[in-house]
Amino acid sequence: MEPSTSSDPPSHADAITRSGGADGASSSSPSSSSRGTKKPPRWKGVEMKPLVRSYGPRDAPEEGGELQQLHPQQASRIGAGSFNTSSSSPAIIRRCKHHLISLLDAHLNTNDTHQRKKLLLLLLSTLFLSLFVMVMAKGDAVGVEKRITVPGRSGEEELHGKGVPPTVENHLDHHLVDGGVVGAGGSSSAAADVVDGTKSDEEHVLGEETKAEASTVVSDAIAEKNGDIPPATAASTPSKVEIHNVDTTPYQSTEYLKPTYFLPKTQDAPRGSAAGGGWDYPVTNHFQYRNVQSPTVSNWGYFDFEDPTEEWRGKVRPQPDFSTVEHRDVKSSDFPEGAWQKDDAYMKRFLEEAKNLVNRTIEGVYAEYGVGVAPFGGDTLTDEQLVQREEFAPNAIIQDIENDEEFRGKGNRMWMTQNSLDGLARRLIHAIMTNDSFELVLGGHSAAAGHGNAFNQSYIIQAGHVLEPVFAHLGVWMRAYNFAQGGMGTLQQALAGMDLRGKNADMIMWDSGMTEKGLDYFMFFVKQALISGNRAPFIIGVGNEMRPLEKVAGANIGEHGSGWNGPLTQSEQQAAEVPWAARYLNCERGNEAICKQHEYESGCWVDRDDFTPSTAQDKQPGGQTSWHPGNRIHKIRGRRIALMVLRGLQYALQKWEDLTAESGHPLADEHWHVADYYKSIREKAPEVPGCFAENKWKIGQKRRRNLRTKNETTPSDGRQLEEEDYWPSRLCNIPLQGRSLWGPRYNPMESSLVSILKPNPMGDLDPDPNPPYMWAPIYQPPDLPGSWYVPPEEDVNVDFIASARKLAVDNHNRELKRTEKIVSRATTNDIHINSTRQLAEITPGYGTAIMWGRSGHCDGTSHNWCDKSDGISCLMGGTQDNRGSVCFDGTSGWVVFDVKDVKHGFIGARMEPWRKGESQKITKGWTEENNGGKGNYDKTERERRLHAEYTTQRSLEYIEQMEKEIENDILMEDPNRRRLGGGQSCGVVGDYTFEWAINGEIVSWTKAEFCDHFTRLSYNLDVIKFMDDPSKTGDFEVAMRMTNTDNNGQMCITHLYWA
């Protein structure tokens, strides 16, 4: 059958209407329980039928109109004012109960015999009415089920067993089927038979339960009058979660993920260094580590999946060679015999447990803020909490991309279009089918980077902490990447295409509105994401302005929205009663100071037995400003982003189940292959308008008088850039590439400028004897949990509910088997440039300084082990903001880069001519180029040892200097300041000659000429263009050096771009 295409996916807000709980089985009775304490139904492995509204003449929809779905408690409130047949059955039962209480009270408190007889007759009549309504309720529910419109489906299709994902909303007013357990599998043919009007065993159960419900009305009424709470039935209160221990050891990888690139001569780099790589395991199957002893299991359950075929238990099932096909799009016919993708029994159990897992995790997010219920032993929600739940993360699916009113109607809700929902489902199913990755990427400024908090408290990492274990259970290696950089925007990254952000991004988010004004920057960011990577990611962005991305290119778009931020905090004493995640997040008017006092709760160190830092640790990470949100705001925003993905997963899993219900497994190729889908989006993306259009303005601005130093010898102030100085707007629409030493970066060694450096005659890329990218961390992961990060045991932590595997490593001394990747250097193509010199043999010098910056594996994820070196005063802060550079002065000699695969004739760089030469760590004491010979290689062993100590000290001082520069640039983000500065000086005191060459053709510029070509693209983004000719393609050698200057001046390059 065809999958759903209707207006809204099965949202979490509809949940309990169609299920009994987070694990997805549906409820058995259309009526609602009114017994005493309303314990939530227990849904693990239990079949439940949804509560639906019974329509009478008054509120039946018009012909063709939609029928309304109601939460159980909403349904119970409708019609409470009368007993007419349009009222919901649960409401009538409750009214009967209240009448019974009143009648019983009057009967027991009157001495008038005649009056007592009348009251007794009324009491019996009310009891008879209750029985009558309950008998009729079954027929009403079945009648409605035949025609109810299900969100996420087209037309009026059956509710049970055909496309309704088992989601959770609230767990009140439901009954279990006959007090027992229906076999695993959720809705079954019995429910479908009821829909079809045929007799089934379940129908007999319903009839008996209806009678049992009526028989309890009087006893419950008496108990309620006396203030007693009748205990929940044994069936609805399972004593514990049944644990099935599955040995997952045979399924686990015994090796870390190997880095994809190694620098020459770094074979012995220690684990945890930038060159040696971090600690991370691959995900290749559905049997990740399960902590069944976790305290959350008793209330929330766990991923209870085992291979249903005994012969395959403990074995990895055969798989096709995905690497032989673009995007791993193997044909369904290529799955070998025994592959899990084509095993019906395996897939049935897997999809069932996958849906349960997703629903449980969604419910856990709600529970963190006091509006969710655990499946086992959970509390109930009040009417007020139900309203708050609906407002926590409201969701909208936009059907008509052209409809302005529909877009305006979304308000601040989470939203995506139907096309985007289906596109997200496609990529999710593909990732699961092929054991692929799923990567969530963020670019932005300091607030997005999480400044003021620990790195792992930033919102995109918080989203990842919820999602990673869920995806791991599904066999998908999922990572969240925070590439935001303090004091900057995103253009300096986007000019490198996706090389710095990862070419396999599946969802990408822009959060730089404070530092990058105007739509052009956003469009440049997302268009490069669509055309420069391997995939065409889902765009999380900026509202209506995103519509052209879908209308023109068919891209997937949406926003995570906002909503209710949790219960009010009224005082310090009352705060203890507020859920931990929501505590101090939302303060009562007049008490805002309480929230302000607790805005940032983080830390820099937790004492441990195996290591004590030699540097005193700060109390909290730095960077706390008025525009940097605290950890609680980051957390709730991250939770909403996680809900956006989880709702997409919910829809995708149900769609998968629907599509294979009749055809069987494996799923047909057209529903999950992505190669053609991505290609179509990428080919159309350049046609999307709004990115530095030729008829608007080109990339580049004139220089300002107040940005110059007083001693600069430059042309007249305020000159207009010449045509050749601008960076062409065609860069918006061609795939860009690049390398940098700013961070964090994806694959930090491979994406570094060092990876494209040409080695000096001694075979070294870096003459530093102790470079920071080789530094080992001073202690081993993981960090111990801080009280600011992990809630008390009695509070809900959705990270633990979804937890599937160890994100920390037990054994850090495991040897990594690896081989050095040898990068072949293809012959470059000769080109012609008007120059002052003929082609020359250019040999790299001995004085190149690699100012790496922070040590460690800083890849933008929470799996990093970054900035763990001596002298760091906040070791657990984990900040990854980094500003490294390759620097050279008048004695360094040539710096040479190998630039590969230029297709559109463009090469440019971000340059820093304003750094003082005294920070150059390699050429200290040199008076001529290359120190008149082989640089420092001719020094004695003692001189080299002393020089190594000196370069190490200079590297540490550089980090301190870099942090101050970042702090200063962050202050410039203040809306009350003018963002004018940021290093656009053309150089320090003194003159120099800047020489550069493409494939040996050398161009010489004086300082004044260099300044003539020095172009500002945005704040602190000052660039030089070396090539802009679409006819020139191939591989190029780009060289540069300084001459005619002393050691007081130097030139640094931070980014090299090409297309």
For residue 691, give the nearest of 523, 504, 470 by alpha carbon: 523
Cα separation of 137 and 88, whole Å? 9
- Say which residue, 118 or 361, is predicted with more confidence: 361
Residue 148 banded pLDDT, cuts 50, 70, 90: very low
**pLDDT value at position 918?**
62
**pLDDT value at position 1017?**
84
Q: Take residue 637 and report the two structure tokens written for it.
A: 């925003």
Rounded mean pLDDT, 1053-1058: 98
Listed in sequence order, the residues at least 6 apart from 130 whose beta carbon sits closer than 8 Å to its beta carbon are 92, 93, 96, 97, 214, 217
**pLDDT value at position 410?**
78
Biggest distance spanned by C-alpha atoms of the chain? 123
Between the alpha carbon of residue 944 and those of residues 41, 212, 770, 948, 1033, the distances in Å are 73, 90, 11, 6, 43
**How does DSSP assign 786-835, residue by residue?**
PTTTS--TTS--HHHHH--S-SS-S-S-PPPP--PPP---PPPPP-----
**pLDDT value at position 699?**
56
Rounded mean pLDDT, 906-919: 84
Residue 975 banded pLDDT, cuts 50, 70, 90: low
CB 997 within 8 A of CB 1003: yes
Question: Three-class SS of residue 445?
Answer: coil
Which one-letter amino acid corresponds to residue 262? F
Cα separation of 572 and 592, whole Å? 12
Cα separation of 252 and 98, whole Å? 59
Give the start-end residues of each E strand in 515-652.
Answer: 538-540, 557-559
Using a pLDDT cut of 70, give the percent of the chain over it.
Answer: 69
Is 507 a residue whose pLDDT tops 90?
A: yes
| 396 membership: H or E segment, kind and range | strand 395-398
The model's pTM: 0.76
Residue 128 banded pLDDT, cuts 50, 70, 90: low
Using a pLDDT cut of 90, give the percent of the chain over it.
Answer: 49
The alpha carbon of 634 is separated from its chain's Cα centroid by a whole number of angstroms, namely 12
Cα separation of 929 and 931, whole Å? 5
Is 970 a residue whose pLDDT tops 60?
A: yes
Range with the lowest mean pLDDT among 86-100, 311-325, 947-961? 86-100
Rounded mean pLDDT, 794-817: 55
Characterise 59 by phi-psi region: left (phi > 0), alpha (psi -120 to 50), beta (else).
Answer: alpha
Annotate 776-794 with b (16+ C-beta within 10 A) or e (fewer): bbbbbbebeebebbebeee
Residue 527 banded pLDDT, cuts 50, 70, 90: very high
Most confident of 136-140, 187-191, 617-621, 1006-1010: 617-621
Residue 658 banded pLDDT, cuts 50, 70, 90: very high
**pLDDT value at position 501?**
97
Question: Three-class SS of residue 374?
Answer: coil
Instruction: Kindly report the number of other CB atoms within 10 A of residue 540's CB atom.
Output: 25
| 572 membership: H or E segment, kind and range | helix 572-575
Instruction: Kindly report the number of other CB atoms within 10 A of residue 873's CB atom.
Output: 14
**pLDDT value at position 280?**
81
H helix runs in 474-510, sequence order: 491-494
For residue 687, give the nearest of 735, 733, 736 by alpha carbon: 733
Q: Across the chain, what does the average pLDDT equal?
A: 75
| 99 membership: H or E segment, kind and range | helix 89-108
Pairing of strands 865-866, 856-857: antiparallel
pLDDT digits over 228-255, tens only? 333 222 223 344 678 888 888 888 877 7
**pLDDT value at position 253?**
77
Phi, psi (deg, nearest 5) at residue 482:
-110, 100
Range with the lowest mean pLDDT among 71-80, 255-264, 1040-1049? 71-80
Q: Take residue 778 and report the two structure tokens written for it.
A: 């001073």
Phi, psi (deg, nearest 5) at residue 562:
-140, -175
Range with the lowest mean pLDDT among 219-228, 930-939, 972-981? 219-228
Cα separation of 169 and 165, whole Å? 12
**pLDDT value at position 282?**
86
Instruction: Kindly report the number of other CB atoms within 10 A of residue 629's CB atom.
Output: 20
**pLDDT value at position 88?**
41
CB 283 within 8 A of CB 845: no
- Say which residue, 279 or 737, is predicted with more confidence: 737
Cα separation of 959 and 772, whole Å? 10
**How does DSSP assign 962-999, residue by residue?**
HHHHHHHHHHTTSTTS----SS----SSS--EEEEEET
For residue 161, give the nearest of 347, 348, 427 by alpha carbon: 348
Indicate the length of the chain as a whole number: 1059
**How does DSSP assign 375-389, residue by residue?**
TTT-----HHHHHHH
Range with the lowest mean pLDDT among 158-172, 442-456, 486-500? 158-172
**pLDDT value at position 570?**
93
Is 441 a residue whose pLDDT tops 80?
A: yes
- Say which residue, 701 or 519, is predicted with more confidence: 519
Residue 725 banded pLDDT, cuts 50, 70, 90: low
Residue 213 banded pLDDT, cuts 50, 70, 90: very low
Q: Take residue 528 and report the two structure tokens written for it.
A: 């490069």
Is 16 a residue whose pLDDT tops 60?
A: no
Is 1037 a residue whose pLDDT tops 90?
A: yes
Rounded mean pLDDT, 70-98: 37
**How does DSSP assign 219-284, residue by residue?**
HHHHHHHTT--PPPPTTTS-SSPPP-----GGGS-SSPPPPS---TT-TTPPTTSTTT--------
- Say which residue, 881 or 194, is predicted with more confidence: 881
- Say which residue, 703 or 1034, is predicted with more confidence: 1034
DSSP letter (8 states) at residue 442:
E
Is 818 a residue whose pLDDT tops 90?
A: no
Annotate 471-480 with b (16+ C-beta within 10 A) or e (fewer): bbbbbbbbbb
Listed in sequence order, the residues at least 6 apart from 725 whose beta carbon sits closer than 8 Å to its beta carbon are 700, 1012, 1013, 1015, 1025
Is 830 a residue whose pLDDT tops 50?
A: no
Listed in sequence order, the residues at least 6 apart from 851 whose beta carbon sits closer than 8 Å to its beta carbon are 741, 884, 885, 886, 887, 919, 921, 955, 958, 1052
Which residues sit opposite 360 in a β-bridge?
A: none
pLDDT digits over 345-392, tens only? 999 999 999 999 999 999 999 999 999 988 887 778 899 999 999 999
**pLDDT value at position 792?**
86
Residue 306 banded pLDDT, cuts 50, 70, 90: very high
Q: Take residue 135 and report the two structure tokens written for it.
A: 């008998």
**pLDDT value at position 350?**
98
DSSP letter (8 states) at residue 312:
G
Residue 515 banded pLDDT, cuts 50, 70, 90: confident
Rounded mean pLDDT, 269-297: 87
Is 678 a residue whose pLDDT tops 60?
A: yes
Rounded mean pLDDT, 179-204: 29
Is 55 a residue whose pLDDT tops 80?
A: no
Pairing of strands 1021-1028, 1015-1018: antiparallel
CB 470 within 8 A of CB 430: no
Residue 23 banded pLDDT, cuts 50, 70, 90: very low
Cα separation of 416 and 399, whole Å? 9
CB 521 within 8 A of CB 538: no
Q: Take residue 706 and report the two structure tokens written for it.
A: 């107040």
Rounded mean pLDDT, 782-794: 88
Phi, psi (deg, nearest 5) at residue 907:
-140, 130
**pLDDT value at position 514?**
84
Question: Three-class SS of residue 548?
Answer: helix
- Say which residue, 176 or 457, is predicted with more confidence: 457
**pLDDT value at position 21?**
35
Range with the lowest mean pLDDT among 348-357, 857-866, 961-970? 961-970
Residue 412 banded pLDDT, cuts 50, 70, 90: confident
| SS3 letters across 631-653 | HHHHHHHHHHHHHHHHHHHHHHH
Rounded mean pLDDT, 942-960: 87
Q: Take residue 584 and report the two structure tokens written for it.
A: 């101090």
Q: Take residue 507 and report the two structure tokens written for it.
A: 């969802």
**pLDDT value at position 134?**
53
Range with the lowest mean pLDDT among 248-252, 694-698, 772-776? 694-698
Is 315 a residue whose pLDDT tops 80?
A: yes
- Say which residue, 837 or 293, is predicted with more confidence: 293
Cα separation of 370 and 353, whole Å? 25
Q: Take residue 404 and report the two structure tokens written for it.
A: 């302005």
**pLDDT value at position 584?**
95
